[in-house]
Structure 1
């Protein structure tokens, strides 16, 4: 989970931890969420860049004014992306998908 916005607070969504496994203590060794307040950015519109590979999800807001990286442990390859907003109306004006080189 990566969350940013005025109401972002740490540990707000940690009640659903499905990451359990053998050999690694996922709950104590990895962050369950990242967050950042939008006050770090100017204006009311934002440019988001998302990068995903097999084990990393990265989010950059406004050319890196906010940058977040999460380790992820998918059970199967990604086939969908969901974007949502809480407490506000969000409009996506442009979206592009690029395959990263190998």
Structure 2
């Protein structure tokens, strides 16, 4: 969300470095394109929990994906192939 038409990153002190979990998911799973949250959850064989863009629900959904981002879980290659075909079809529309 932005106020006054300007967007700036929040500058709150944190002892932890920033991590781009979308990028890490994409790289860890060997995907050619970066999936959005809905697609990532579907690729992992999970179901979306709650309401999109509601902070606590988004956090729960990201937490569901952590084994595929930081752990050893791998997406079924058949899901990846089907998703990549679907993405190509979406791009043609």
Same fold (TM over 0.5): no
- TM bracket, shorter-chain basis: under 0.3
| TM-score, normalisation: structure 2 | 0.26
Higher strand share: 1
Q: Normalization by structure 1: what TM-score?
A: 0.24
